[in-house]
Amino acid sequence: MKIKWKLLTSSLCLSLLLGGCFGTDKSVTQKSSDGKDDVPRSDDMYESILTYTGDGYDLPGGDKNEKFAKDHKDDVEKAVKDYLKNEFNTDVKVHNMVGNRDGVTVFYESTGPLHFYATAIVPIDLKNKDVLGDHVWTLEGVVERGLKGALYAYLFEDEFKELDRILGELENEEDIVGRKIENVGGIGYMTPFYFLANSTDDEAIEPVYELYMKDPETPKAELRSAFDKEQFIPEDYLFSIQFYMEDPNKEPDEAILERIVNTIVDSTTIPSGNYAINLHDNYVIKHAAEGSKDNSISRKFPDEEIIKE
């Protein structure tokens, strides 16, 4: 199972290349021996999590395409919505557009009972000033993974609500905050406190997914009955919890991290899965929409994984 998660982590980060990959960016200011920054964080590289909305996130070679896409916003949005509806029976709301070398990466969230975030790529022909709406595409497995993760949350709604509740309490009681996810959210089922990275070969949810794709109006009870409990493996669902220090002048606090960890370990009513806990300082690396830095602290796979059966 550990080998499987190494492969999943690699594929997930590849999938998030167009949407920001949590926990992978280590390019930050150097630390002195007392743990402080040698130089102040530059405003063009970092922004407080309290105000960050996605501005500054970029992809290689996308400036001209991004400007064109935003000038033709209605055409781009229609192309994405039509593609997701036709291919995946999914209605979406577009949040942001970021130019890339060949077009524009569009960040969206689903608007139906299955809630997830993802991206689609809309090619642009600048020479002929054309949005190539008939050639929209997504990274392999991204939408499928998002739908399956959303189905898991849909089937076990009470457990997910409990997880949201206890993480919300931690935010209220400690000097920590979550993050806004609409503008540069990423991939899959997400909340301000965590994202769910689910395996592409999860056999327990597969019959549920197939049933839903045949008929999105299938009653929840029928979907729940299709869930194959005998095939369920907790490690197929990685809950990556991401908190930030609320005070811009404070480093990630080990005592707070330990409280988050203990809260997850002690809970018996949250979703089954593999939990990773991450605590960052107050700042986001703007161009990558990323909070993980050299001073971030964590408890996660492979050495300190938390498995909830």
pLDDT tens-digit map of 70-128 = 999 999 999 999 999 999 999 999 988 889 999 999 999 999 899 999 999 999 999 99
* pLDDT at 30 > cutoff 50: no
Which tens digit of pLDDT belongs to each residue from 156-211?
999 999 999 999 999 999 999 998 765 555 679 999 999 999 987 899 999 999 99
Structure tokens at 53: 């909305």
For helices 142-155 and 157-173, the axis angle rounded to 10 degrees is 90
CB atoms within 10 A of CB 4: 13
Q: Omega of the bond prior to 302 within 30 degrees of 0, cis?
A: yes
The conformation of residue 57, written as its DSSP 8-state character, comes to -
Which pLDDT does position 39 carry in this prediction? Answer: 44
State the pLDDT confidence band at 302, using cuts at 50, 70 and 90: low
Contacts of 221 (CB under 8 A, 6+ apart): none
E-state strands within 126-207: 130-131, 176-177, 194-198
- Distance in angstroms (rounded) separating the CA atoms of residues 292 and 290: 6
> The pTM is what?
0.84
Q: 3-17, 55-69, 225-239: which has the minimum mean pLDDT?
A: 3-17
The mean pLDDT of 219-226, rounded to a whole number, is: 96
**Three-state DSSP class for 194?**
strand
Q: In this prediction, what percent of the chain has a pLDDT beyond 90? A: 67
Instruction: Please provide residue 83's backbone torsions phi and psi, each rounded to the nearest 5 degrees.
Output: -60, -50
Distance CA 277, CA 6 (A): 17
96-112 pLDDT, tens digit per residue, is 888 999 999 999 999 98
End-to-end CA distance of the chain: 14
Where residue 301 falls among pLDDT bands split at 50, 70, 90? low
